[in-house]
Amino acid sequence: MAGGAAKQQLSVTEFAAGWRTADKLRCLLGHVRYQDLAAGLSGGVISTLVLHPLDLLRIRFAVSDGLHMRPQYDGLVDCMRSIWRLEGMRGLYQGVTPNMWGAGTSWGLYFLFYNAIKAYTQEGRATELGALEHLMSAAEASILTLCLTNPLWVTKTRLVLQYNTDPDRKQYKGMMDALIKIYQSEGLPGLYRGFLPGLLGTSQAALQFTTYEALKREFNSYKHNPSDTLLCPWEYITMAAMSKMCAVAATYPYQVVRTRLQDQHNNYSGLMDVVTRTWSNEGATGFYKGMVPNLLRVLPACCITFLVYENVSRLLLDQYK
């Protein structure tokens, strides 16, 4: 009898825990604003269309370890000229389709999750969220977004690394063809290559958004304005650029590791194998390959994304008030 009562009590406890979880999920979903999804998607797609060639250069330099037969470039200008000479504008925009899908979806989902988690955490509180709470909200949003978009980033990397000098350079005909072939030959793990360093890389978005929120809050405080006061475009651009520079400088090596894991021309057994071999063959500088084109890309990309997001979000919110 006692055992039956204990089991019944346990079942009631489990039911209550499940009910609380479902209730929290419903509450969280109540803070979802689809305007954030649309605004973030718009910003991601526009910035990618403008700046994809620099992302292509960043990836090609990031995998250049000097040990494998692949095109070698003397610098950014030489790389761009070589690609233009061999493949024209099409070559510079190789892999742009999954990049647009990945960037648009990632930014859209990120803003959607981030603002919903922030609003849920803020609910019922008179005080503003602290830096740690902004950091946690950003990290949670990044992880959720990565879980949904990693296959698109693998596809983008594979398409960008199809060199014109390869005999089998047409291994993938496009985004859908690449997704299907990667799944057929490597299964689900193939579509989630680089996922672990990607998780480590969520710290970049977390640092970026925490810094961005802090800059907006401090600026409005300095101007004696409410914390949610809308700023002018140049103020958003400046804060977005400053927050992105801080985040990239602190976390860039994960991008090199992630890209090398996703490279179809190399075969690493895992995260530690990439780190060990990169350090052994190239030293610390190996983890910063492609940093220059990355900075040239991410700063304007971040500014464009945030500027488009803030304005599209404001326009949609005004329409649906």
DSSP 14-59: HHHHHHHHHHHHHHHHTT--HHHHHHHHHHHHHHHHHHHHHHHHHH
pLDDT band for position 66 (cuts 50, 70, 90)? low
Query: Domain for residue 72, yes or no?
Result: yes
Tell me the percentage of the chain whose pLDDT exceeds 70: 85
Tell me: pLDDT of 54 over 50: yes
Interval 84-109 mean pLDDT? 89
CA 300, CA 182: separation in Å to the nearest integer?
Answer: 32
Whether 210 and 132 have beta carbons less than 8 Å apart is answered as: no
- 22 part of a folded domain: no
More confident: 39 or 135:
39
Q: Is residue 5 part of a domain?
A: no
Burial of 82: CB neighbours in 10 Å, binned 0-12, 13-18, 19+: middle
What share of the chain in percent tops pLDDT 90?
19
Q: What is the pLDDT of residue 27?
A: 66
161 in a domain, yes or no? Answer: yes
pLDDT band at 297 (very low <50, low <70, confident <90, very high): confident
Sort 122 into a burial class: Cβ within 10 Å, 0-12 / 13-18 / 19+.
middle
Tens-place pLDDT, residues 188-218: 999 999 998 888 777 777 787 778 878 888 8
- Which string of b and e fits 172-192 if b means at least 16 CB within 10 Å? beebeebbebbeeeeeeebbb
Nearest to 107 by CA among 293, 308, 318: 308
Domains in the chain, number: 1
Residue 170's pLDDT is 60
Report yes or no on 141 lying in a domain.
Answer: yes
Quote the distance between the C-alpha of residue 314 and its chain's center: 23
Per-chain mean pLDDT for the chain: 81
Separation between Cα atoms, residue 191 and residue 247, nearest integer Å: 26
pLDDT at residue 176, rounded to an integer = 92
Task: Name the residue type at position 123.
Answer: E
Q: Is residue 21 part of a domain?
A: no
**Is the pLDDT assigned to residue 179 strictly greater than 90?**
yes
Is 195 a member of any domain? yes
How many Cβ atoms sit within 10 Å of the Cβ of residue 116?
19
Domain of residue 297 covers 31-319
The reported pLDDT for the residue numbered 18 is: 46
Phi then psi for residue 86, to 5 deg, are -85, -35
Question: What pLDDT was estimated at residue 320?
Answer: 57
pLDDT, tens digit, for every residue of 245-287? 888 877 888 889 999 998 888 888 888 999 999 999 999 889 9
Residue 4 is assigned to a structural domain of this protein: no
| pTM for the model | 0.71
Q: Are 21 and 264 in contact (CB under 8 A)?
A: no
Q: What's the confidence (pLDDT) of residue 223?
A: 81
**How large is the C-alpha radius of gyration of the chain?**
22
pLDDT at 147: 92
pLDDT of residue 26: 64
Tell me the average pLDDT across 24-31: 63
Q: How far is Cα 236 from Cα 293, in angstroms, rounded to an integer?
A: 23
pLDDT at 187: 93
Measured from the Cβ of residue 171, the count of other Cβ atoms closer than 10 Å reads 14
Return the structure tokens found at 303. 């500014």
Q: What is the CATH number of the domain that holds 234?
A: 1.50.40.10
pLDDT surpasses 90 at 154 = yes
